[in-house]
A and B are shown apart, each in its own frame.
Chain A
Amino acid sequence: MATDKTADNADDALSTESADVMRYESAWQRVRRSWSVRIGGCVLLVLLFIAVAAPWLGTVDPTLFDAGSRDLKPGQPGEIITLDGDTIKHTFIMGSDSFGRDIYSRVIYGTRVSLVVGAFSAVVALAFGIVLGLVSGYIRWLDGPLMRVMDGVMAIPAILIAIALVAMFRASLLSVIIAIAIPEIPRVTRLVRSLVLTIREEPYVEAAVSLGTPTWKIMFSHILPNTVAPLLVQGTYICAFGILVEAILSFLGVGLPPDIPTWGNIMSEGRSQFVTFPHNVFFPGLFLAATVLAVNILGDGLRDTLDPKMARRA
């Protein structure tokens, strides 16, 4: 990190001495200099660390419960029975829920579900959106029908699609991810399609066509690389949305089964006792809000640095 810093300073020194206009800055350098990317990225790295290192952060198994340790206030000591049947002493930093489960452990383990759902719903939505967008931008006769279907999907509010699909498929990690990704596919498709339609008119594509390059090769080696920046930005927003919707589904009781520790499930369990034990709702809520905020800030930073055209529109 230290060497990076000096390199950055050297760069800055150079740019003030020589002509600014001449200096070419790579996209990566611009991204790294953005404060939004730095802050959002750091918070996400911390969360990633929490998710990976969950078992070693002073947690107990998040499914463990103890009838004697029900409804503890944050910071109270108590006992918990391990899977082997031993009773161990445990301090409930964030209190316990009405089953006597440790909220801290559940919140920490909940990070895993949120990050996985966020990341994979973005990947799934992007993958389908890219394929459909390329098809609709290149195969003209399919464009009309495909885009009308997309209009139809977009006319149904996203959360309703997710709720209905999860209800039909019975919630599992996979079905939740797919249910969140499906309403996002039309937006990605539209974006890719519009990029394809613009890029295919560029001189370098024309040049490739005149050289007899096959269509699939033009798609993958000339057009797709130029869609990376806007798609990356879109992907971060889908990720933030995915984390939010997963929490909403769990909170409403239609998401992942209640014994799986997710932030939404913890809040859903805590809501009936909210008046006396507000921490059951607030601790996971805090993590959820912070995570979504970090992803959104990262997305804004990427948009401002990678995709200036879009930044001006927003």
Chain B
Amino acid sequence: MLATIPVLAIVAVLVFLMLRLTPGDPAAILAGDAANTEQIAKIREGLGLDRPLIVQFGIWARDIVSGDLGESFYFKMKVTALIGQRLEATLSLATLTILFAVSTAVPLGVLAAWRFGGWFDRMLMGFSVMGFSIPVFVLAYILIWVVSLKLGWLPVQGYKPISEGFWPFLRHLILPSITLAVIYVALIARVTRASVLEALGEDYIRTARAKGLPESRVLIRHALANAAIPIVTVIGIGIGLLIGGVVVTESVYAIPGLGRLTVDAVLARDFPTIQGVILFFSVVYVVVNLLVDLSYVFFDPRIRY
């Protein structure tokens, strides 16, 4: 748990180095093609890029700790403000996706484990391999084509903030979150199945059945409850996949979130924004996994920290 702090520190160093040790002078990019060497040097000085690397890192780290991610070259505003602006869309998309994925994947996995080796199990495993293989954007276009263009049920793309009403907000997010959920469902269902399968082999399951408990209770109270830890773990690890998917999904569906911001920043070679967004996503990922670790206590009372 305390290991979280050094990991975050290392992430900060890596993100910093990633963008400083690579070729390409941010000052030259900022100055534009028409600038002469003198102007570039002036901008470099203004950004503090002429100082030693370690000093630059010190300044940068001090700013981060005080909640300042610098100013965007391209958007001409504070990176923190920029992230704040885009947060709602991404957070809504991710929350909806996780809700949708967990509520489908866990029952599917339990059913597959219950009927291990049967047709349902094999179908789910087949689906899971496909879910891992179909690229997010290909799936996105198939869904847009069928659901939005042919059937006309949902909007093709775009985003409506929740302040403009819940239904328009939800309508715009249904397809993106289904798109994003598929790989997540594949992952969680697979682990749920394996984990429940293992629990079903335990003696207490035989005992539960022997004392005449209904099968549903055996599966949920006895098998699933004891299989929970690998499942919550993979939900946490899957956040990494989800973040990757958000970048692509938001681009396809034209959702003005953090994923879109990442791509726009990369295309504009807007270093402070790239750094800020990557750092933000990584912190979210680390913190979510820390929370997952802490939640073990809830699922298994034997665990103590």
A residues sitting closer than 8 Å to B (CB atoms) are: 148-149, 151-153, 155-161, 163-170, 240, 244, 247-248, 251-254, 267, 271, 274-275, 278, 281-282, 285-286, 288-289, 292-293, 295-297, 300, 313-314
Contacts of B244 in A (CB 8 A): 157-160
Contact of A155 among B7, B129, B142, B252 (CB under 8 A): B7
> A251-B248, A314-B190 are known contacts; what are 12 more A-B pairs with Cβ within 8 Å?
A148-B10, A156-B11, A156-B282, A157-B240, A160-B247, A160-B277, A167-B267, A168-B19, A248-B135, A248-B137, A252-B263, A282-B145
Measured CA separation A282–B132 after assembly (Å): 18
B199 at the interface (CB under 8 A from A): no
Q: Establish whether residues B11 and A296, one from each chain, have CB atoms under 8 Å apart when the complex forms.
A: no
Measured CA separation A300–B133 after assembly (Å): 12
B86 at the interface (CB under 8 A from A): no
Measured CA separation A271–B144 after assembly (Å): 12
Measured CA separation A292–B138 after assembly (Å): 12
Contacts of A161 in B (CB 8 A): 18, 278
Given A168-B19, A252-B251, does the pair A240, B274 have CB atoms closer than 8 Å?
Answer: no
Task: Label chain B's interface by main secondary structure.
Answer: helix
How many positions in chain B have a CB within 8 Å of any CB in the partner chain? 51
B6 at the interface (CB under 8 A from A): yes
Contacts of B282 in A (CB 8 A): 155-157, 160
Contacts of A281 in B (CB 8 A): 138, 141
Q: Establish whether residues B248 and A152, one from each chain, have CB atoms under 8 Å apart when the complex forms.
A: no
Given A151-B10, A170-B24, A293-B133, does the pair A254, B138 have CB atoms closer than 8 Å?
Answer: no
Given A151-B7, A282-B141, does the pair A254, B281 have CB atoms closer than 8 Å?
Answer: no
Q: Establish whether residues A155 and B145, one from each chain, have CB atoms under 8 Å apart when the complex forms.
A: no
Q: Establish whether residues A285 and B135, one from each chain, have CB atoms under 8 Å apart when the complex forms.
A: yes
Q: Establish whether residues B11 and A163, one from each chain, have CB atoms under 8 Å apart when the complex forms.
A: no
Q: For residue B203, give the distance in angstroms from its CB to the closest CB of chain A.
A: 19
Measured CA separation A288–B138 after assembly (Å): 9
Q: Establish whether residues A293 and B11, one from each chain, have CB atoms under 8 Å apart when the complex forms.
A: no
User: Which residue of chain A is the closest to B237 with respect to CB atoms?
Assistant: A154
Contact of B281 among A157, A247, A300 (CB under 8 A): A157
Q: Establish whether residues B281 and A163, one from each chain, have CB atoms under 8 Å apart when the complex forms.
A: no
B27 at the interface (CB under 8 A from A): no
| Interfacial residues of chain B within 125-166, with CB under 8 A of chain A in the complex | 129-130, 132-138, 141-142, 144-145, 149, 156
Q: For residue B148, give the distance in angstroms from its CB to the closest CB of chain A.
A: 9
- Taken residue by residue from 3 to 36, chain B's Cβ proximity to chain A (1 for < 8 Å, 0 otherwise) reads as 1001110110111001100111000000000000
B286 at the interface (CB under 8 A from A): yes
Contacts of A160 in B (CB 8 A): 243-244, 247, 262, 277-278, 281-282
Contact of A163 among B23, B135, B240, B266 (CB under 8 A): B266
Q: Establish whether residues B10 and A248, one from each chain, have CB atoms under 8 Å apart when the complex forms.
A: no
Contact of B267 among A149, A253, A282 (CB under 8 A): A253
Q: Establish whether residues A300 and B129, one from each chain, have CB atoms under 8 Å apart when the complex forms.
A: yes
B residues sitting closer than 8 Å to A (CB atoms) are: 3, 6-8, 10-11, 13-15, 18-19, 22-24, 129-130, 132-138, 141-142, 144-145, 149, 156, 190, 194, 240-241, 243-244, 247-248, 251-252, 262-263, 266-267, 269, 274, 277-278, 281-282, 285-286
Q: Establish whether residues B7 and A252, one from each chain, have CB atoms under 8 Å apart when the complex forms.
A: no
Contacts of A148 in B (CB 8 A): 6-7, 10
Contacts of A251 in B (CB 8 A): 137, 248, 251
Given A170-B24, A285-B138, does the pair A164, B274 have CB atoms closer than 8 Å?
Answer: yes
Contact of A168 among B7, B18, B141, B190 (CB under 8 A): B18
Contacts of B144 in A (CB 8 A): 274
Measured CA separation A155–B243 after assembly (Å): 12
Given A155-B282, A157-B282, does the pair A254, B266 have CB atoms closer than 8 Å?
Answer: yes
Contacts of B13 in A (CB 8 A): 152
Q: Establish whether residues B190 and A292, one from each chain, have CB atoms under 8 Å apart when the complex forms.
A: no
Task: List, sorted by A's number, 22 A–B pairs whose CB atoms are closer than 8 Å.
Answer: A148-B10, A152-B13, A153-B14, A159-B247, A160-B281, A163-B262, A164-B266, A165-B22, A168-B23, A247-B135, A248-B248, A251-B137, A252-B263, A254-B266, A274-B141, A275-B156, A278-B149, A285-B138, A288-B135, A289-B135, A293-B130, A293-B134
Q: Which 3 pairs show the lowest CB-CB distances between chains A and B?
A: A152-B10, A159-B244, A168-B22
Given A155-B7, A156-B278, A252-B251, does the pair A292, B266 have CB atoms closer than 8 Å?
Answer: no
Contacts of A271 in B (CB 8 A): 141, 252
